[in-house]
Structure 1
């Protein structure tokens, strides 16, 4: 009987040691699961932030531009900080002087009507039927002829 009692006692010791081992292993598994969950939540939050910023960039400015009534037609620098700007506001062009923290109205014009492509100069309509190579050759001949003419005129002035 003592033999069976000692066998039973050692089995109980082994089962309690096994439970301790399982408990220790499950603690580390629980810790890894928590770290995984935290990492997943952080990745999702970063994804939501990036997606939101992309949507704001795509949707935001377009909605503002759709109702805009002011359009900058042209701009030219006059000095280091001064500019002359032509702005179109509801069919009127305003010529503005901008600089030094000030905006001054210089002149007011009516906006010209949009030009039709059919009312372009005749030389442009003649060239439109030609291919690129033909137009390039014509332009090259014209520019070479102008350069030769200027060279001859400059040569005569020297003598």
Structure 2
């Protein structure tokens, strides 16, 4: 009987060792799996970062940027419908008024560019530093609209004033 008990205790200890080895093996496999997953995520983040940097670089320097802006410039655009627009394009000192919509472009009018626009196009830095900035123009337009609104209410026969 002692031989049976010693063989059963030996088999129990070997079974315990097997379980311990399998648990430590599972833990090491999990750590290896997490390390591999981390390396893969880092590599993916690097690739996405490179793609974003390249796209930002191409937006700034992009192919064909230098030649396209020399002779053709959009001056103004306004919507006249859901998909229709009227666009003013400056082509070498001539303004073209174009109707854009429905998959086609229609030539509406052609006129020479105003002299002040040509001067502003040749010296954009001085025009941007002028005293007639956006804030000044917006404030004067706001004052004008406010005066017009209140003066038209004063003139109405049934007004509250």
What is the TM-score of this pair, normalised by structure 1? 0.54
Distance 1:48 1:85, change over 3 A: same
- Whose Rg is larger? 1
Shift of 1:51: 1.2
CA distance in structure 1 between the aligned counterparts of 2:22 and 2:82, rounded to whole angstroms:
74
> Which of 136, 143, 147 is matched with 2:151 structurally?
147
Is 1:113 the counterpart of 2:118? The answer is: yes
How is 1:51-62 mapped onto 2 (pairs within 5 angstroms)? 51-62=49-60
Gaps of 5+ in 2: 1-6, 121-125
Equivalent in the alignment of 2:88: 86
CA distance in structure 2 between the aligned counterparts of 1:15 and 1:79, rounded to whole angstroms:
85
Shift of 1:103: 0.9
CA distance in structure 1 between the aligned counterparts of 2:94 and 2:30, rounded to whole angstroms:
68
Distance 1:36 1:79, change over 3 A: closer
- Listed one character per residue, the Cα deviations across residues 80-137 of structure 1 (whole Å, up to 9, x for unaligned) are 43221112234433221112211122233343313465xx89xx7xxx8xxxxxx99x
CA distance in structure 2 between the aligned counterparts of 1:51 and 1:90, rounded to whole angstroms:
40
Distance 1:30 1:151, change over 3 A: closer
What is the TM-score of this pair, normalised by structure 2? 0.54
CA distance in structure 2 between the aligned counterparts of 1:98 and 1:56, rounded to whole angstroms:
33
Distance 1:17 1:81, change over 3 A: closer
> Which of 99, 102, 105 is matched with 1:100 structurally?
102
Q: CA RMSD in A?
A: 4.3
Gaps of 5+ in 1: 1-8, 129-134
Shift of 1:18: 7.3
Contact 2:93 2:118 in 1 (8 A): no
